[in-house]
Amino acid sequence: MMFVDNKEIVLPGHLLSDSNLTLGRGTFREDGKIYSNMTGIVFLDSDTISVIPFKYTYKPKYGDLIIGRVTSSSYSSWTININSTYQGYLSTSELYDKNEQNMNQIINIKDILLLRVAQVDEINRVKLTIRSHGLGKFNQGTIVRVKQPTVHFLSEENAFLTSMIQEYTCTDMIVAKNGLIWINGLKENVDKILKIIEEIENQPFKHNLIKIVQSKIMNL
């Protein structure tokens, strides 16, 4: 049985369930019971139970879609700030061609990139890639940093809301796993999205948040 409700705030050691659920992030099993190992919000998804932390340092995983800023370059790679305690590295071979172009003319320091995590090795070196459709350098748009529950709310729990926001504001929007969101559109429409995000940030654990956000979207 469940001892907590979905979206309930819990503390470390809080008993969550004695059911045979799959363990997600922020949980552990002991003597057949599932507990929280952090302070956060309970999230139930099918047969998986997780706890989403309020304060969270992004830890890269293979396949994550992330947004990063170029901080330095060398002959063989660019160093990427990925909003984490870990640095990301993008090999120049990602863009190498037989003409041996000057890589600094393609990617420069301070450029913002959309990437995927290609590998995290045993000493936490994070190899990144842009070799996939849609990845690469942002030439326009606004980047906003958000809390992890907001990323989870928009990208995993209620991805349909992200599509709805884009449709009703005529904007493009990418929610990255590392706590950054890219928004592109007319300034007045971007400002509308920022107000919606502020609403989510201020009330990440309300049970009726979906209805609140939907109402706000419909009345933009």
CATH assignment of the domain containing 189: 3.30.1370.10
Kindly indicate the confidence band of residue 171, based on its pLDDT and cuts at 50, 70 and 90.
Answer: very high
- What backbone torsions phi and psi does residue 211 show, to the nearest 5 degrees? -65, -40
Asked if residue 59 belongs to a domain, the reply is no
Q: How many domains does the chain have?
A: 3
With a CB cutoff of 8 Å and minimum separation 6, the contacts of 201 are: 146, 147, 150
Of 137, 172, 193, the residue that ends a domain is: 137
Q: Residue 186 and residue 169: Cα distance in Å, rounded?
A: 9
Burial of 8 (0-12, 13-18, 19+ CB in 10 A): middle
Same domain, 77 and 117: yes
Q: 97 and 59 in contact (C-beta within 8 Å)?
A: no
The mean pLDDT value for 123-138 works out to 90
Distances (CA, A) of 85 to 30, 52, 58, 114, 122: 30, 19, 8, 18, 15
Distances (CA, A) of 78 to 31, 136, 200: 47, 13, 34
Asked if residue 95 belongs to a domain, the reply is yes
Q: Which two tokens stand for residue 164?
A: 């709805």
Other C-beta atoms closer than 10 Å to the C-beta of 71 total 13
Asked if residue 213 belongs to a domain, the reply is yes
**What pLDDT score does 208 carry?**
73
Q: Which tops the pLDDT comparison, 129 or 45?
A: 129
Of 137, 169, 187, the residue that ends a domain is: 137
Same domain, 153 and 208: yes
Residue 98 has pLDDT above 60, yes or no: no
pTM of this prediction? Answer: 0.77
Give pLDDT tens digits for 13-72: 999 999 989 998 889 999 999 999 988 888 887 788 988 877 767 889 999 999 999 999
The mean pLDDT value for 184-206 works out to 85
Same domain, 147 and 129: no
Q: Domain span at residue 41? A: 9-53
Asked if residue 32 belongs to a domain, the reply is yes
What is the DSSP pairing of strand 48-53 with strand 27-30?
unpaired
With a CB cutoff of 8 Å and minimum separation 6, the contacts of 53 are: 26, 38, 39, 40, 148, 149
Q: 201 and 150 in contact (C-beta within 8 Å)?
A: yes
Q: 150 and 129 in contact (C-beta within 8 Å)?
A: no
Same domain, 152 and 213: yes
Q: 180 and 148 in contact (C-beta within 8 Å)?
A: no
Same domain, 180 and 200: yes
Other C-beta atoms closer than 10 Å to the C-beta of 179 total 21
The mean pLDDT value for 160-170 works out to 89
**What pLDDT score does 96 carry?**
61
Same domain, 157 and 212: yes
Of 113, 137, 161, the residue that ends a domain is: 137
Kindly indicate the confidence band of residue 174, based on its pLDDT and cuts at 50, 70 and 90.
Answer: very high
Asked if residue 60 belongs to a domain, the reply is no
The mean pLDDT value for 195-208 works out to 77
The mean pLDDT value for 84-99 works out to 79
